[in-house]
């Protein structure tokens, strides 16, 4: 299970070219948006949040999409947005927590980005999100159980990221710097 993973594993960047973008995936509350903004600043890249892109495209909040159209409609919008990202360069892309559960979405991201999965334990994730009311998947009588169940179901997809990064007991700055250093090293390797 992903909870036993520490640090990172080297990516299998089989394309033979340096990645143009960096994508952050992982469960809600693992720090994708906050880390992504900091990374964009460190790398002097543009920051793109797929959830924001979806809301702009749909003209409504994600919670409204879930409530009025359901999760399948949201996942379709999510897949559409991922395809639109393929033309971007020099971006840090923060994705929704379930985006890479669809293997086609991960495949699309890997065409143009190095994919980093941020990870934290179910207990840590619960502590980080328990007071947030904008997360539709947590509308459950037992949100801690829901997190454990969803995280377990998504673990196989998260393991397919290029690099796995634990956010446990690390500051936002440490996580962002670690990812930036790794991304730069891979790009230097491809340049040589």
9-29 residue pLDDT tens: 444 454 556 779 999 999 999
Distances, alpha carbon 180 to alpha carbons 23, 35, 125, in Å: 12, 10, 23
Distance CA 26, CA 155 (A): 9
For the chain, give every domain's residue range: 2-191
The band of 154, judged by pLDDT with boundaries at 50, 70 and 90, is: very high
H helix intervals, 46-121: 50-58, 62-69, 71-84, 103-110
Q: What pLDDT, in 10s, does the model give residues 102-147?
A: 999 999 999 999 999 999 999 999 999 887 777 766 778 898 999 9
Model pLDDT, residue 10: 42
Tell me, rounded to whole angstroms, the distance of Cα 181 from its chain centroid: 18
CB 27 within 8 A of CB 101: no
Helices (H) and strands (E) in the chain, counts: 8, 5
Distance CA 108, CA 189 (A): 23
- Name the architecture of domain 2-191: 3-Layer(aba) Sandwich (3.40)
Q: What pLDDT, in 10s, does the model give residues 35-93?
A: 999 999 999 999 999 999 999 999 999 989 988 999 899 999 999 999 999 999 999 99
Q: What pLDDT, in 10s, does the model give residues 170-187?
A: 999 999 999 999 999 988
Q: What pLDDT, in 10s, does the model give residues 91-106?
A: 999 999 999 999 999 9
The CB-side HSE value for 185 (13 A sphere, CA atoms) comes to 9
Distance CA 72, CA 109 (A): 20
């Amino acid at each position: 299970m992903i909870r036993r993973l520490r640090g990172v594993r080297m990516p299998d960047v089989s394309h033979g070219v340096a990645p143009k973008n960096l994508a952050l995936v992982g469960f809600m509350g693992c720090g994708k948006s906050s880390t992504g903004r900091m990374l964009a600043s460190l790398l002097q890249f543009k920051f793109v949040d797929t959830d924001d892109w979806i809301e702009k495209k749909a003209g409504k909040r994600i919670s409204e999409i879930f409530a009025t159209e359901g999760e399948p409609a949201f996942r379709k919008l999510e897949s559409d947005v991922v395809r639109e990202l393929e033309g971007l360069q020099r971006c840090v892309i923060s994705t929704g927590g379930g985006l890479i559960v669809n293997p086609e979405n991960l495949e699309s991201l890997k065409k143009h980005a190095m994919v980093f999965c941020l990870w934290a334990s179910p207990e840590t994730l619960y502590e980080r999100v328990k007071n947030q009311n904008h997360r539709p998947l947590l509308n459950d009588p037992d949100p801690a159980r829901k997190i454990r169940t969803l995280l377990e179901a998504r673990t196989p997809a998260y393991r397919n990221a290029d690099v796995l990064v634990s956010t446990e007991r690390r500051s936002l700055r440490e996580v962002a710097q670690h990812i930036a250093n790794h991304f730069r090293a891979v790009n230097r390797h491809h340049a040589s």
